[in-house]
Amino acid sequence: MEPTFEQQLVSESLFEPAFRIVQHYCRNRRDTPKLSDEQFLRYGFLRVLGHFDSGRDFVQDRQDGGEALALTTWFDALHSGRRATMVAEVATRSYEIFSRFLQLRDWLGAFPELAGRAVWAVDGHHLEHACHAGRDPKGEFVSMGLIYGQCLHYGLQRSLVPFQGDGVRRHEWPVFKQHLPDWIRQDRGEQVPIVVGDPAYIDVLYWHEQKRLRQAVIITREKENMKPTVISHHAFDSQDPVNRGVESDEMAGYTYAYLRRIVYCDPASGERFVFLTTEDSLRPGLIALLYLLRWKIEKVFDVFKNKFHQQKAWANGAVAARTQAHLTALVHNLLTILLASLELAGIREQKIERQQAARTAARPASQRVPAQEMVRHAAQLTCQYIRLLRHCLAHHTSWRAALPLFRLRLEAYL
C-alpha cells in the first residue's frame, strides 16, 4: 500500500521531482550498481544542504550513518563526464518542467507584456579553490568562477558554465558570449528573451547583432566612462505608476551604435541610475524595474554561500565544477517549489510578508515605488526554512510531524 501524504518523509517529497526527471526524461541515465544516478543525485543534494567541511567529512558522515559510500566512489562520480551530463540534463529539463507544470508564483505576473517571455538575470559567482587545485603562472591559486542565470519570473536558478579555475583566469563575458547561443536554444519561446546583466556585459555591437537576429536583448547600466550623444527623446506616460521615477527615455549614440537610454531616479533613495537596453517595446519604468530586480541573483549567491555553506569547490576540474554548480542550483529550485507547495496549503512566509508590509507602511507616499511593490513577494529563502529542512532530512521526519513545524517557522522569527 502506498503511504499517505502525511506518512511520507519530507526528504521523499523534496527530492521526488528531480528523481522523476531522471527516471522519465533523462537520456543519459545509466544503471550503475555501485552508485545509481538517483543515489548520486541524492548524495549531491545532501552535500549541498549539509554543513560539511570537505568531501571526506561528507563521506565519513554517510559511512558513520551506516551507508556504504566509499571515498573513491564519491570522487570518481564527481569527475565523471557522463554523470555531469546527466546532472546537467536533469537541471535543464527541470527549468521547463518546474515553471510550466508547478504552480509557482510569477514575480512578474503584474506585467502582462512579459507573459511568456523569458527574462534572465545573469552574473558570475566565485568559490574558493579546491585543496589540490592547480596554480596560475605566478604560483597563485585561482578561485572557481561560475556563471549563473536567474529566471525573474519564478526565481529559479540556472547554472550556465564555469569560466575560470584550476590555475586559469578568465573574464566571464567572453565565456558567456560563447555559450549564449546554446543557452538560448534551450529556453527559446516565441518572443525574444531578455538578458539583464551588470555593466561587464556591455558590448554594443554584439547586442545589436543579437537583436537583429532576434536571439536576445540586453538590459544593463551605463558605465561612467561612456560618453553618449543624445539623438532623440521618446514620449512616455509619466502618470503610469510603473514609470514613476523615470526622468527621460531617449536614444543615444555611442562609439559604434545607438542604444535606448533611460535615466531613472529612485523615489525611495534619491539615487540616479542610467540604464541601457536594446529592448524597444517595454515601458521605461519596467526596464528600470527589471534591472533593479537583478540584485535578486546576488541574494541567491548569499544563500549559496552563507545558508548552504557552499564556499569551496568540491573537487578539481571543470567537470566537477559543472556538477557542483548544477546540484547547488537544483537544490535551490527544489526548496523554492516546496515553499510554493506549502503556500498552496496556506503555510506562507508570514514573517517576511509582515516585514515588507511594515517597511512599505513606514515609507512616505512620495518615496513609494509602485512597480517595486508589485513584486515584493520575490523574497529569498530564509535561514529558519533551510534549517528546518535540514532537521527533517537528518531525522527522517514525516509530513505529519513536519507540517506544524513549517507553519511555526514560517509564521514568526525565533
| All structural domains of the chain with their residue ranges | 211-285
Q: How far is CA 238 from CA 245, 247, 283, 349, in A?
A: 9, 9, 10, 34
For the chain, what percent of residues have pLDDT higher than 90?
A: 65
Asked whether 262 and 287 are in contact (CB, 8 A), the reply is: yes
Assess whether pLDDT exceeds 60 at residue 1.
no
d(CA 83, CA 16): 19
**DSSP codes of every residue in 107-124:** TTTT-GGGTT--EEEEEE
Assess whether pLDDT exceeds 80 at residue 78.
yes
Among residues 190, 107, 183, which one has the least CA distance to residue 151?
107
User: What's the mean per-residue pLDDT of the chain?
Assistant: 90
d(CA 144, CA 126): 5
Assess whether pLDDT exceeds 70 at residue 188.
no
Rounded mean pLDDT of 392-398? Answer: 93
For the chain, what percent of residues have pLDDT higher than 70?
A: 96
Assess whether pLDDT exceeds 90 at residue 361.
no
Query: What's the full length of the chain, in residues?
Result: 414
- 3-class SS at 132? coil
Q: pLDDT tens across 262-281, in order?
A: 999 998 888 999 999 999 99
Structure confidence at residue 211 as a pLDDT band (50, 70, 90): very high
d(CA 72, CA 83): 15
Torsion angle of the four alpha carbons 355, 357, 359, 362, in this order, in degrees rounded to the nearest 10: -140
Q: Which strands make up the sheet holding 157-164, listed edge to edge?
A: 157-164, 144-151, 119-127, 194-196, 217-221, 272-277, 258-265, 246-253, 229-233
With b for 16 or more beta-carbon neighbours within 10 A and e for fewer, the 347-359 pattern comes to bbbebbeeeeeee
* H runs (alpha helix) in 114-260: 172-186, 204-212
Largest pairwise CA distance in the chain: 72
pLDDT value at residue 403: 94
| Least confident residue range of 26-35, 96-105, 258-267, 389-398 | 96-105
Structure confidence at residue 221 as a pLDDT band (50, 70, 90): very high
pLDDT value at residue 71: 94
> How remote is the C-alpha of 33 from its chain's centroid?
33
Q: pLDDT tens across 92-146, in order?
A: 888 878 877 666 788 898 999 999 899 999 999 999 998 888 888 888 999 999 9
Phi/psi of residue 157, nearest 5 degrees: -100, 145
